[in-house]
Amino acid sequence: MNAEAIREMLNRRPFEPFEVIMSSGERHFVRHPDFLMILQSKVAIGDLLSDRLIVLAIRHITELRPVEPQPSV
């Protein structure tokens, strides 16, 4: 995975929520484009449901998969 592929998914219009799948099998959801920041070698995802910021190494991201929107809390 690379930053450009993540940027393409993030910039789709209309935006489609997606999950980030890691090499460890972990899954993280991006529910809104403002909740993900792309750095040079990492991404930061804000998770409103758990009120935390998750920082992931781009090199460990194996897949980006669109998901059905989930209701916000």
Has residue 61 been placed in a domain?
Answer: yes
Has residue 72 been placed in a domain?
Answer: no
Has residue 39 been placed in a domain?
Answer: yes
Whole-prediction pTM:
0.84
- For residues 1-29, b (16+ Cβ closer than 10 Å) or e, as one string? beeeebeebbeeeeeeebebbeeeeeebe
Q: What's the domain count of the chain? A: 1
Q: What is the pLDDT of residue 49?
A: 85
Average pLDDT of adjacent 10-residue blocks, the chain of 73 residues: 94 94 96 95 93 96 86 59
Has residue 17 been placed in a domain?
Answer: yes
Instruction: Report CA 31 to chain centroid distance, whole Å.
Output: 8
Domain of residue 10, CATH code: 2.30.30.100
Has residue 71 been placed in a domain?
Answer: no
Q: What is the pLDDT of residue 72?
A: 59
Has residue 58 been placed in a domain?
Answer: yes
Q: For residues 31 and 41, what is the distance between their CA atoms, to the nearest angstrom?
A: 21
What would the two tokens of residue 6 be?
């993540």
Has residue 13 been placed in a domain?
Answer: yes
Domain that holds residue 46: 3-66
Q: What is the pLDDT of residue 50?
A: 87
